Amino acid sequence: MHHDKIAVVDFGGQYAHLIATKVRRGRVLAEIRQPEDPLEAFAEYRGVILSGSPSLASFGEDSDWNKGILDLDVPILGFCFGHQEIAKHYGGTVINGKQEWGHADLHILRDHPLFAGLDKVEQVWMSHFDSVTSVGPDFEELGYSLLGEDAPPHRFAAIGSDKLRRYGFQFHPEVDDTLHGDEMIANFVREICGCRPTWTMEGYVQEEVARIRAQVGDRSVFLLASGGVDSTVAARLFAEALGPGRLELLHVDNGLMRKDESRAVVKMFADLGMGDDFHFIDASDDFLAALEGKIEPEAKRRAIGDTFITVFESEARRLGITDHLLGQGTIYPDTIETGGTKRADTIKTHHNRVPIIEEM
């Protein structure tokens, strides 16, 4: 089934996955794109949302992105850095130093589809060093913010051009601290972009099952199963797609688990009907040896990730598994925290995102 889609352009902020999640909760498919993607990659989207970024628009940081995106013939909404880039592109100004942090009151200046069903004053979340101080001739100020009763008005907190179908929020509607941010995002997606709410997680599962079957073909899959959300969901999808006998699961006790956690994981997969092809190894000594003498958290994480692969490959040889595809489940926050996109800063490297796994 064809679904209307929204592109979320990820400038390296920590909230891009949250934006996509909020759109999907409204039963509209959102996909994360990179700022350097070619314009052809945006051909099937009904609208675009530009995320925030650790970069400063006022200093021209992160200026090498594909600005042709702003000329696409679809509505575009920017948050924080995205808001500032829209203002700059269309003749506005952005300066450094007019910062806001924390809860603020957004004072909405007029009725607009973006704010349909909302109050004239809404609580929003601000976290920025740069600010828009003027807008181009086709734009208007839709709202200003106040950070406390005695603070001066912070203008251009919301801007828009109905003629150009370009809009910007200085605040972050995707975080829960913006009390009605979900409604603002939904208003953009449905009222401005005209997206139909046809996407569901159930339908997505069936689409992924079909994609797995097409990609795997007649081969089998070998998957590390920690018992966490990411690998367990991946295992269930692979099992549904491939059927009995074509999915081998390996659970590794790395010596860092909670008491009896591995025993609980083994039981869980047995209860899920996946016990026949489930393998378990206690490799605690290998992991503790790899961690010996390491102090820095990043070094520890990389050692754990590398050891997982060493154990994984050793067990594959022991089990006679030679021609299987490697299966992996990775939730999107792991990618964000590992700095898995070009512009993202590393928060912490996850063991399933270390270079040796990326190469595989």
Can you give 295-341 as a three-state secondary structure string?
CCHHHHHHHHHHHHHHHHHHHHHHCCCCCCEEECCCCHHHHHHCCCC
Question: Is residue 193 among the annotated active site residues?
Answer: no
Catalytic residue from among 3, 80, 180, 350: 80
SS3 assignment, position 230: helix
Catalytic residue from among 85, 100, 122, 174: 174
Nearest to 96 by CA among 86, 82, 108, 84: 84
Rounded (5°) CA angle 35-36-41: 90
| Single-letter code of the amino acid located at 43 | A
Catalytic residue from among 172, 180, 251, 351: 172
SS3 assignment, position 143: strand
Question: Is residue 80 among the annotated active site residues?
Answer: yes
SS3 assignment, position 15: coil
8-state DSSP, 284: H
Cα distance between residue 224 and residue 180, in whole Å: 40
Structure tokens at 319: 């089990």
Question: Is residue 180 among the annotated active site residues?
Answer: no
Cα distance between residue 355 and residue 360, in whole Å: 9
| Single-letter code of the amino acid located at 215 | Q
Residues annotated as catalytic are 80, 172, 174
